Amino acid sequence: MKIIKYPQKDSWEGIVRRPHLDLSQLNATVNGVLSDIKENGDKAVRKYEEKFDHASLDEIEVTTEEKEEAMSLISKELYDSLVIAHNNIAKFHESQKFDGKKIVTVNGVTCWQKSVPIQKVGLYIPGGTAPLFSTVLMLATPAKIAGCPEIVLCTPPDKEGRVNPAILAAAKIAGVERIFKIGGVQAIGAMAYGTESVPKVYKIFGPGNQYVMAAKQQVSLHDVAIDMPAGPSEVCVIADEDSNVEFVAADLLSQAEHGVDSQVILITTSESMLDAVSKEIELQLKKLPRREIAAKTLENSKLVLVHDTDEAIELSNSYAPEHLIIATKDYEQLSEKVVNAGSVFLGKYACESAGDYASGTNHTLPTHRYALAYNGVNLDSYNRKITFQYLTEDGIRSIGQAVVTMAENEQLEGHANAMRLRMDSLK
């Protein structure tokens, strides 16, 4: 990890910059696959499943028998853990329900909003180096609470054409019935365009590798909405002299093991903490099964020493991390100053793992500094707010002349006339 001590503010832009990737060739490959899926549907899906996932598929959709078998293949301990996580996720997202109120803006004019679920949503669940069954709960639970009538889930199969049983179990717990054995770019294309087997959806959710994210961004230009733009996963930890060294190192490594293009950053006010964490990372890294991945991530990562916690939070806000862990003694005061972050973890016991799995908050979050403008997935992500208004004769008298005057000054006579006719009808 790169160590940076007391950086000047004019150098912060370099500190917060993520690793640069040349995506020109990648985007060309993605475009070719998407075009093939759009034109050839299931035939192209099967071709790319064989090419990329090395699975020869007779049936693209997961059968009832496969779902039932999956329930017998996972341990009771894992099933019970999934239920606990689902219950907490459901409780947190239930609290986000919208209560539209009718507002009388002026005499005779009533306005309100109604929250309406998106009718068809697609969920993408990665299954590569780590099958993310937790993401099934994170995406499907709010979709069900929102009331989305049609939920489609795509996830890559193994070489034998089977979906990870924990993913199927999580889908059952969350109430998802239509599951397809499709991974990568071909999954995004199938949900965006629709095939003979896979319904076209209106919005696609879910994380993925660089190819998946490029595919989501390409289809979002013309064909379907997506949850958010995103890049590789990341965490920022703010620590002081009282932080727990082992916890801080573990938090950095828990994120580093996601993938070689991830990034972790420590911002600390204590030089002794910086040195101790650096040594502790080396000790813990040796014990990780995914240590090669984590070690590669650490090459893109930084340990930053600053003067005080105010400077630390200012640098963090500039970084706009996907995950922010504030492990300092003044975490409550610092939390009030957070303006750019996907999800925030406060105090020494709130590890990122809690939010990734079972605390109840959603782990589908903006990365790559998109937290400057985007939030993570929540119940609103699955709804649209439709605006209504109702005018009486008194409403025409209240705002009619203002509407006409503004329309005339914008030189939109048709607009002015639509209101003017109503005003004249009241004379």
The yes-or-no verdict on residue 258 having pLDDT over 90 is no
124 known member of a binding site: yes
The percentage of the chain sitting over the pLDDT mark of 70, rounded to a whole number, equals 99
Q: Domain 2-19+232-360 class?
A: alpha beta
Mean pLDDT of 43-67: 96
For residue 9, the SS3 value is helix
The string of pLDDT tens digits covering residues 150-206 is 999 999 999 999 999 999 999 999 999 999 999 999 999 999 999 999 999 999 999
Average pLDDT, the chain: 95
- Name the residue type at position 257: E
pLDDT for the residue numbered 325: 98
Domain with CATH 3.40.50.1980 in the chain: 2-19+232-360, 24-110+117-226
Element (H, E) at 113: strand 109-117
pLDDT for the residue numbered 127: 84
415 known member of a binding site: yes
Kindly name the residue from 322, 332, 352, 368 that is annotated as catalytic: 322
Are 237 and 266 in contact, with CB atoms under 8 Å apart? yes
pLDDT for the residue numbered 245: 97
pTM recorded for the entire structure:
0.94
pLDDT for the residue numbered 230: 81
The yes-or-no verdict on residue 217 having pLDDT over 80 is yes
**pLDDT confidence tier of residue 129, bands split at 50, 70 and 90:** low
pLDDT for the residue numbered 128: 64
The yes-or-no verdict on residue 125 having pLDDT over 70 is yes
In whole angstroms, give the CA distance from residue 405 to residue 109. Answer: 18
Q: How many CA atoms lie within 13 A of 110 on its CB side?
A: 7
Mean pLDDT of 300-318: 96
Catalytic residue list contains 323:
yes
Mean pLDDT of 98-116: 97
What angle (nearest 5°) sits at the alpha carbon of residue 291, between those of residues 285 and 296?
105
Fold of 24-110+117-226: Rossmann fold (3.40.50)
Catalytic residue list contains 20:
no
27 known member of a binding site: no
31 known member of a binding site: no
Kindly name the residue from 86, 93, 323, 363 that is annotated as catalytic: 323
251 known member of a binding site: no
Are 304 and 268 in contact, with CB atoms under 8 Å apart? yes
